[in-house]
Amino acid sequence: MRKRIMVVGPTQSGKSTLANVLNDSVRPLKKTQDVVYGKNAIDTPGSYIENTYTYKYLIATAQAASHVLILIDQSRPIEVYPPAFAKSFNCPVVGVITKSDLAPNNSDVCIQQLKKAGVREPYFRISLQDKAGVRALKDHLLGTSNLK
């Protein structure tokens, strides 16, 4: 079975847009109601991290993942990840700060949230508007996974 990268984050943090980039697709952007399995990425609903009773679905879905990307929206860094959440997964967990071109004063808050969630460095700062940082993230993932 092909392993995919699972994308996790709160609503409006850029999960579907990043999944489209990783899948080399242009799937229409709309509220993700259920898990969407793409060619290279698994797009998860924001509600799965925003409601503690659905964590079990994220953990189960991660069994089909080579990596888990934990997203934090720099323009709106709401704290949704419990302490040491990254330890729930059996695959590498990568921290991604999205919308890095917005609200630069929130950068340190985002890093603290990733650390509290148990995500180890390196952290990737990306902007999906201008694709800044996306190449570095893809290179990191391609270097350690079976994505083509």
Mean pLDDT value of segment 83-94? 96
98-131 per-position pLDDT tens digit: 999 999 999 999 999 999 999 999 999 999 888 8
| Model pLDDT, residue 32 | 63
37-80 per-position pLDDT tens digit: 999 999 999 999 999 999 999 999 999 899 999 999 999 999 99
126-148 per-position pLDDT tens digit: 998 888 999 999 999 977 544 44
CATH of the domain at 117: 3.40.50.300
The total of structural domains in the chain comes to: 1
- 139, HSE (Cβ side, Cα atoms, 13 Å): 6
Task: Compute CA distances 145 → 3, 20, 59, whole Å.
Answer: 8, 18, 19
What's the domain range around 99? 4-144
Is residue 90 over pLDDT 50?
A: yes
Q: Determine the Cα–Cα distance for residues 25 and 74; give it in Å rounded to an integer.
A: 24
| Model pLDDT, residue 145 | 45
Is residue 2 over pLDDT 70?
A: no
Mean pLDDT value of segment 76-101? 96
pTM of the model: 0.90
Answer whether the bond into residue 92 is a cis peptide, omega within 30°. no
CB 58 within 8 A of CB 69: no
